[in-house]
Amino acid sequence: MCYIQYGPVYHWTICFKERRSAIPKNYRVNDQITAQSVLVVDDKGNQLGQLTIDKALEMAVEKGLDLVEVAPSANPPVCRFLNYGKFRYEATRKEREARKASRVKSNNSVREVRMKTRIGDHDREAKTRLVKRLLSEGSKVRVSVMFRGREVQHPQIGMALLKNVAEDLQEDALLEKAPSFEGRFLAMILAPSPSLKNNKNNRETESAKT
């Protein structure tokens, strides 16, 4: 624990040391297609019009491609000539990129966990577990202590609470903003530590493999 002096007041600072990969939509392919006739788009994007399913399958085989039903709700359904394995790979890659962008957006959000000065040890531990869960989800967390009435004359109580939370989370959090008063709230902002992010990414990687 480090202490930094600003004038007559000492402020303490803390020196703190992905979900199963979503499977893209399953499309009917080749013999799985049940419609008797389909609208066909070739591998170049050209519309070939309405064909019987047998004719469409025959043309797909000649091209060494799969016939993939991409719009089953259309009447008749729309099918394309595709390399289905490559198509699924690209769909999975795009989904992962979308989730990554969503996580980046989530990482920039700040969640809040509030405590009162007279909080008991059991409740404080529960709040600390909540902070850890939010951090593990990629969010930054504003941990605040609310002062009522004359309690504001005893800021050391809030400092001690935030210090305890910080020490409990020293393996999981980085101090992004040191404790400071915002009205009647004493608050600090914690961000996920690199080790917590790595653990999360490892879990997501392992889940994607299963």
Q: Using one digit for the tens of pLDDT, what is the confidence trace for 5-53? A: 333 333 444 444 333 333 346 788 999 999 999 999 998 889 999 999 9
In the listed set 44, 74, 102, which residue is the last one of a domain according to the structure? 102
CB atoms within 10 A of CB 146: 17
Q: Is 118 within a domain?
A: yes
Task: Please indicate, yes or no, whether residues 115 and 197 belong to a single structural domain of this protein.
Answer: yes
The per-residue pLDDT of the chain, averaged, comes to 81
Q: Is 4 within a domain?
A: no
Structural domain tally of the chain? 2
Q: Cis (ω within 30 of 0) for the bond into 194?
A: no
Q: Is 13 within a domain?
A: no
Residue type, position 137, single letter: E
Pairing relation of β-strands 37-41 and 78-82?
Answer: parallel
What range defines the domain where residue 94 resides?
30-102
Task: Give the CATH number, domain containing residue 145.
Answer: 3.30.110.10
List residues bridging with 68 in a β-sheet: 29, 80
